[in-house]
């Protein structure tokens, strides 16, 4: 498969463990955040989103936490599975603008 980036930070977890992927953003005006998953050879896939008036949002096996004080976003994946292996991107929308700004990504490797 193709690489999204050669120098991505990598998180390696054991199958069944929980994973936490972190993202820092710099613009305090950002008001909407999204996590995407990108598997090899595919486009980014929407996982979960959160607005700035929330601190936490849960989906199926995933939770997003937003700490506006320190401009930090995290994605928690419960009971990580081999199919979760991918590159994960956070993206921010600033001031209800028209474009999303993507972070550099984190590669998640799940060990069987």
Partner 1 sequence: DSGVTQTPKHLITATGQRVTLRCSPRSGDLSVYWYQQSLDQGLQFLIQYYNGEERAKGNILERFSAQQFPDLHSELNLSSLELGDSALYFCASSGGLSSYNSPLHFGNGTRLTVT
Distant-in-sequence, close-in-space partners of 37: CB < 8 Å, separation ≥ 6: 44, 45, 47, 84, 86, 87, 88, 89
Single residue of 49, 63, 68, 109 touching partner 1 by CB under 8 A: 49
Segment 15 to 34, residues that bind partner 1, using CB under 8 A: 31-32, 34
Q: Which residue lies nearer to partner 1 by CB, 48 or 78? A: 48
Total of residues contacting partner 1 (CB under 8 A): 30
Q: Does 62 bind partner 1 (CB under 8 A)?
A: no
Q: Does 80 bind partner 1 (CB under 8 A)?
A: no
Q: Under a CB-based contact definition with an 8 Å cutoff, are residues 34 and 90 in contact? A: yes
Query: 72-77 and 19-24: which strand pairing?
Result: antiparallel
Q: Which residue lies nearer to partner 1 by CB, 96 or 112? A: 96
Q: What whole-number distance in Å separates Cα of residue 63 and Cα of residue 81?
A: 15
Q: Which residue lies nearer to partner 1 by CB, 83 or 112? A: 83
């Amino acid at each position: 498969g193709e690489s999204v980036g050669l120098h991505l930070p990598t998180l390696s977890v054991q199958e069944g463990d929980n994973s936490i992927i972190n993202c820092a953003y710099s613009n305090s005006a950002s008001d909407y955040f999204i996590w995407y998953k990108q598997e090899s050879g595919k486009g980014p896939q929407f996982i979960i989103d959160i607005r700035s008036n929330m601190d936490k949002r849960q989906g199926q096996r995933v939770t997003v936490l937003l700490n506006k004080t320190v401009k930090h976003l995290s994605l928690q994946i419960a009971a990580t599975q081999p199919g979760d292996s991918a590159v994960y991107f956070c993206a921010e929308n600033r001031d209800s603008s028209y474009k999303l700004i993507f972070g550099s990504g984190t590669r998640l490797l799940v060990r069987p």
